[in-house]
Amino acid sequence: MKFNWISLVGLLLLSQPSFAIDLAGGFIRLMPPTSKTTAGYGKLTSKVDTCLVSFSSDVANKVELHKHSEENGMMKMRHVERFLVTEQTPLNMESGGYHLMLIGLKRPLKDGERIVIQAQDEEGQRYPLTLTVGRDY
Ligand SMILES: [Cu+2]
């Protein structure tokens, strides 16, 4: 079999994600195997202004950016439709604040497993984020 190495390299370069976005400490909370939802955390930074509008993963039916907030003394979660990540405003996802909600898990996640979540900006550019499943944040 003969490969066309030039076009193969070209294809690899084209499919390379932009490295403008970085997720540090990407973590998914390990839940009991019966649980159909869990949450992901980490600090997402970007060197260029990037407006994130959606998230997805092979392991869940839906992934949404949520924010915990206190309303009338009650903790509530709301779906954040878009988040503009800039050099000055990272997306800080931690317990009690922003988080990635994995809804409708297709299978139980394993301790130590690495999960890829695709973030997508408003121009359709996708950024793969790697998060590790674990017990504690
Ligand atoms: Cu949530």
The domain that contains 102 carries what CATH number?
Answer: 2.60.40.1890
Using the predicted structure, report yes or no on whether residue 86 has a pLDDT greater than 90: yes
Q: Please, what is the average pLDDT of the chain? A: 90
Residue pair 128/116 in contact by the 8 Å Cβ criterion:
yes
Please give the Cα distance from 68 to 40 (Å, whole number). 13
62 domain residue, yes or no? yes
Say how many Å lie between the CA of residue 14 and the centre of ligand 1.
34
**76 within some domain:** yes
Let me know if residue 14 belongs to a domain. Answer: no
Enclosing domain of residue 57 = 19-134
Structure tokens at 55: 């998230």
Task: Give distance in angstroms: CA of 50 to centre of ligand 1.
Answer: 22
Residue 100 has pLDDT above 60, yes or no: yes
What's the pLDDT at 135?
Answer: 86
**55 is a domain residue:** yes
Model confidence, pTM: 0.83
Q: 55 alpha carbon to ligand 1 midpoint, in Å?
A: 13
CA of 77 to the centre of ligand 1 (A): 5
Report the number of distinct structural domains present in the chain: 1
Q: pLDDT by residue (tens digit) across 10-33?
A: 555 555 555 679 999 999 999 999
The rounded Å distance from CA 67 to ligand 1 centre is: 7
pLDDT band at 122 (very low <50, low <70, confident <90, very high): very high
* pLDDT band for position 112 (cuts 50, 70, 90): very high
Both tokens assigned to 34: 């019966």
Per-residue pLDDT at 134 exceeds 90: yes
pLDDT at 20: 79
Nearest to 17 by CA among 90, 121, 122: 121
d(CA 7, CA 112): 36
What spacing in Å lies between the alpha carbon of 3 and ligand 1's midpoint?
47
Is 3 a domain residue? no
**pLDDT range class, residue 7, cuts 50, 70, 90:** low
* Count of C-beta atoms within a 10 Å radius of residue 111: 9
Whether 8 has a pLDDT exceeding 70, the answer reads no
User: What pLDDT shows up at residue 85?
Assistant: 97
Q: Which residues contact 51 (CB under 8 A, 6 or more apart)?
A: 82, 83, 84, 85, 121, 122
